[in-house]
Amino acid sequence: MQSSRRVSANAHDGRTTSLLSTRGSSKKKSHERKQGNVTGSRWHQETFAEIAELIHLGDKIKQEQRRKVQHRYRNKQINLKLTLENETRNLRNETQALQEQVLNKAIEIAVQPLKDVGSVAVRYFNIFQRCLRLQSRSNISAAQFDSLLNFVRATTAPDMLSSAGYGPEALIKSLSVLQKFDDVNMVLEEIDKVSANVVVATTKTSVTITEQTLMEVFPQLLSASANGILTYSLVEKLCGQQIILVGSTRFVWDPESDRVASIIFESDMLTPMIDLLGNLEDVSRVFEHALLTPISTG
């Protein structure tokens, strides 16, 4: 009987030990699984962080590559633009020089048979108009009126008289103020023979007033000391406007030297300015300290 109880107790102890062993094993495996999950999660996080860093690095590399490509492209565009500008400038200068040569040659040929004041007047305006057209096709040049100056020297007395003074240079200097306007176009209306030695030519010249015109011809309108609102109003009214100047040029011939003794030029700028501004007070303010007078002379 006691032997049977011992066997039963031993069996019970064995089952208990086995159960405890099984539970312990299960807890250990569960703990290991948890540790494995934590380790795996950390590995995934680190891997994702590395991948994100690589992607960010790749984006930075691409951005740097794009920046370098854009920089090279901009440099190419700038170099191309500079090259084109230089070539255009050189071509313009060559064209202008060639035009001047052709015109000067034509003047040399044309001057020879001029033995009366009417012929000189016609040729004078032909050359004058060509000089103005030359301005419209190219940049304003100090040599723009050289052809006209050469013609005047060849057909007038050394001390020829103009409204600007004595000598061809004084006349051309007064006429060169037209350089300061834009879209200059002169039309010879008629030449009236007053006497055998005197002719009067009538012209109409259209010019456009630009900001550059105001700066150089009417500088007082843009000066720092100008009267604010009123001056600004005048500038707005003038800038970009086209006006027509009616002019007359009187040629007097010296039969003893077979040359022109005087060329007196007058141009009415008062009338178109009154039409444009509407009153004499504003016109007076515009011409105060201006490079031109309401009745310009040359």
Per-block mean pLDDT, blocks of 10 residues, the chain (298 long): 50 52 57 58 74 82 86 82 81 68 55 75 91 62 77 92 91 87 92 94 94 89 64 87 95 93 94 93 89 76
Dihedral of the alpha carbons of 88, 91, 93, 94, in degrees to the nearest 10: 180
In angstroms, how far apart are the furthest CA atoms of the chain?
176
Confidence (pLDDT) at 273: 93
Query: What is each CA distance from 54 to 42, 254, 262, in whole angstroms?
Result: 18, 95, 88
Q: How far apart are CA 120 and CA 231, in angstroms?
A: 44
Residue type, 209: I
Q: Which residues fall within 8 angstroms of residue 135, CB to CB, at 6 or more apart?
A: 144, 178, 179, 184
- Residue 117: the pLDDT is 92
Q: What is residue 137's predicted lDDT score, i.e. its pLDDT?
A: 46
Amino acid identity of residue 237, one-letter, is K
Question: Is the Cβ–Cβ distance between 253 and 152 less than 8 Å?
Answer: no
Six-digit token pair at 146? 């050289």
What are the C-alpha distances in Å from 78 to residues 72, 87, 177, 223? 10, 14, 36, 36
Q: Is the dihedral of CA 47, 49, 52, 54 positive or negative?
A: negative
- For residue 226, the model assigns a pLDDT of 54
